[in-house]
Amino acid sequence: MYNPQSMKAEEFISHEEVLETLEYADKNKHNSSLVDSILEKARVRKGLDHREASVLLACDIPEKNQEIYALAEQIKKDIYGNRIVLFAPLYLSNYCVNGCVYCPYHRTNKHITRKKMTQEEVRREVIALQDMGHKRLAIEAGEDPVNNPIEYILECIDTIYSIKHKNGAIRRVNVNIAATSVENYRKLKEAGIGTYVLFQETYHKESYEKLHPTGPKHDYAYHTEAMDRAMQGGIDDVGLGVLFGLENYRYEFAALLMHAEHLEVVYGVGPHTISVPRIRPADDIDPSAFGNGISDDILAKIVACIRIAVPYTGMIVSTREGKATRERLLRLGVSQISGGSRTSVGGYAEPEPEDENTAQFDVYDRRTLDEVVRWLMELGYVPSFCTACYREGRTGDRFMRLAKSGQIQNCCHPNALMTLKEYLEDYATSGTKAVGEALIQNEIGTIPKEKVRKILEENLVRIGNGSRDIRF
C-alpha cells in the first residue's frame, strides 16, 4: 500500500502506485485541459505531485511541451536567478565489496587498478583543487568496510578542512558514500559535512536486486531508507538521484518524486539537491547492455519536469554530460555543475599514469575550471563558489523556507558575486578576469535593495584589496 508517511521503502516507494501513475499519465498525455490545469498549478511555485508531473513528462503535445520548457526556465530564474554553483568531485578510494553490474568498481573487476589515497595524497589533491579555485568538494568512495571505514572518511574530511594554501580553502565538503547507520550519519554531521548525497540507481526493486547481485548494496530497503537515517542522524541537507539508463525513465521519474514527497511529509524538508546522471562507458561497462538509454531530448524533458515539480531543489549535472547538453540543461533547471573534474582516485595534483585506470566513468566535458567559468559568464550566468548558507546555518528547513519563497536570492546573489570576485583575483586567466569584472559591474545594478548594493560594492573593494571569505 502506498503511504508517503511510512518509514518502509516499499510503502513510500510503492511499485503499484508507480505503475498506476504511469497508466494515468499514458491515458492523459493528450489531455490538453488537464495539462493546462497542471501548468496553472505549477505557476504558483508550489510544486506538483508525482502523478501531475508524470502527466507533463508523458505529454506529447508540441505546443504544451514548449509551455513546459518555458515555465521550467522561468521558475529556475525566479528561484535561483542566473547563479550556477561550481564544485569538483574527489574520489578517495575505489575499493568496493559490492557487485554492481553498471560500475567498474564492482568486486569482480580484476583488471581495474585499486587505489586508496593516504592523507598526504588527499592533502596534495586538495591543494591542487584549491589552486584551481574550488571551494566546494563532493567526496566519493567505494563501499568497503575494511579499506574505507567511516573512520577513514572522517579523517579525510578533517584533512580537507584543515588545509589552507595561499588564499585557498575548501569551505564545504559534500559526501557521497554508501548507505550507513544513524550513528555514522551523526558522525558525518559532527564532522561538518554539507549535503549527504546517495543515488538510488534504480527504484525498481526487482531490477535493483538484479543490478546489485552481491554485497551490502543488494539490500534494497536499507539503501532506499538511507535518507531517513541521515535525517535522524541530524543531516538535514540530502541529495537524491537515479542513474538514468538502468530502468524505464518514466518509472524512475515518478519514484524519485515520491521519495522527495516522503521526505517533505515526514521531515518537512525535501531534497536539497536532485542529480540526473546517465550511465556512461567505463572500463568494462557498456551502457547499451542495459537497454534503457535516454536521448538528450528526454533528459531535457526530465530536467524541466523536475524543476517544475520540485521548484526549490538544487539540480546537478556533472561532467558525465558534454558542453552542449550542459548548456541546454542550465536553462531548464540545473543550478550546480562540476568543473575541471577527475573521476579517478586522485588525478588533480598529477595526471593519472597511463598504466593505471581508477576512473568510475568517462568524462565528457574535459575543460578546465577557468574555461568553464568563462563559458558560464559568456552565457550570462554568475559562476558561484558560495558556501555561505551552509556556514551560516541556513540549511534544512531554514534554507527551504528561503528557497520556496524566492528570498534566497537576497543572500545568494551578492554572495555569488563576492566569491566570483575572489576567483577572478586569485585564479582566473587575464581573459576570464576581464569578462568577469564586466559581468560583476553589470550584476551590481540588478541588486534591488540600495543598502545591500552599497555593502556589496564596499565588500568587492575589500576583496580587491586582499580580504577573503566575506559573506552575507
Residues 439 and 306 in one domain: no
Which pLDDT band, with edges at 50, 70 and 90, does 394 fall under? confident
Domain stops at, among 391, 420, 447? 391
Rounded to an integer, what distance in angstroms lies between the CA atom of residue 82 and that of residue 440?
12
Domain stops at, among 391, 418, 446? 391
Residues 285 and 201 in one domain: yes
Q: For residue 181, what are the domain limits?
A: 77-391
Residues 425 and 324 in one domain: no
Residues 380 and 421 in one domain: no
User: What is the average pLDDT across 111-119?
Assistant: 94
- The whole-model pTM stands at 0.95
Which pLDDT band, with edges at 50, 70 and 90, does 185 fall under? very high
- What pLDDT sits at residue 364? 82
**CB of 274 within 8 A of CB of 316?**
yes
- What pLDDT sits at residue 360? 75
- Element containing residue 291 per DSSP (H, E): none
* Residue 50 belongs to some domain of the structure: no
Rg of the chain taking only CA atoms, in angstroms: 21
**CB of 208 within 8 A of CB of 220?**
yes
Handedness of CA 440, 409, 277, 124 (dihedral sign): positive
Could you tell me which residues come within 8 angstroms of residue 126 by beta carbon, excluding any fewer than 6 positions away? 90, 137, 159, 160, 163, 165, 170
**Rounded to whole angstroms, what are the CA distances from 404 to 27, 273, 276, 407?**
31, 14, 21, 8
* Residue 5 belongs to some domain of the structure: no
- Element containing residue 153 per DSSP (H, E): helix 150-162
Number of structural domains (the chain) is: 2
Residues 346 and 459 in one domain: no
Rounded to an integer, what distance in angstroms lies between the CA atom of residue 319 and that of residue 297?
18
* Residue 402 belongs to some domain of the structure: no
* Residue 294 belongs to some domain of the structure: yes
Residues 376 and 420 in one domain: no
Classified as helix, coil or strand, 89 is strand
Domain stops at, among 362, 391, 420? 391
User: What is the average pLDDT across 49-72?
Assistant: 98
- The rounded mean pLDDT for the chain is 94
Intra-chain end-to-end CA distance of the chain, in Å: 46
Residues 239 and 124 in one domain: yes
Residues 425 and 357 in one domain: no
* Residue 211 belongs to some domain of the structure: yes
Residue carrying C-alpha cell 542550465: 330
% of the chain exceeding 70 in pLDDT: 97
* Residue 72 belongs to some domain of the structure: no
Could you tell me which residues come within 8 angstroms of residue 162 by beta carbon, excluding any fewer than 6 positions away? none
Rounded to an integer, what distance in angstroms lies between the CA atom of residue 342 and that of residue 472?
32
- What pLDDT sits at residue 446? 93
Residues 4-26: pLDDT tens digits?
999 999 999 999 999 999 999 99
Handedness of CA 134, 335, 306, 313 (dihedral sign): positive
* Residue 186 belongs to some domain of the structure: yes
DSSP β-bridge partners for residue 83: 382
* Residue 7 belongs to some domain of the structure: no
Residues 276-311: pLDDT tens digits?
999 988 878 888 899 999 999 999 999 999 999 999
- 115 HSE (CA, 13 A, CB side): 22
Which pLDDT band, with edges at 50, 70 and 90, does 401 fall under? confident
DSSP β-bridge partners for residue 93: 116, 141
Rounded to an integer, what distance in angstroms lies between the CA atom of residue 236 and that of residue 227?
9
Rounded to an integer, what distance in angstroms lies between the CA atom of residue 126 and that of residue 164?
9
Residues 255 and 322 in one domain: yes
Residues 322 and 459 in one domain: no
**CB of 275 within 8 A of CB of 240?**
yes
What CATH number is attached to the domain comprising 169?
Answer: 3.20.20.70
- What pLDDT sits at residue 178? 98
Residues 343 and 460 in one domain: no
- 384 HSE (CA, 13 A, CB side): 24
Residues 214 and 313 in one domain: yes
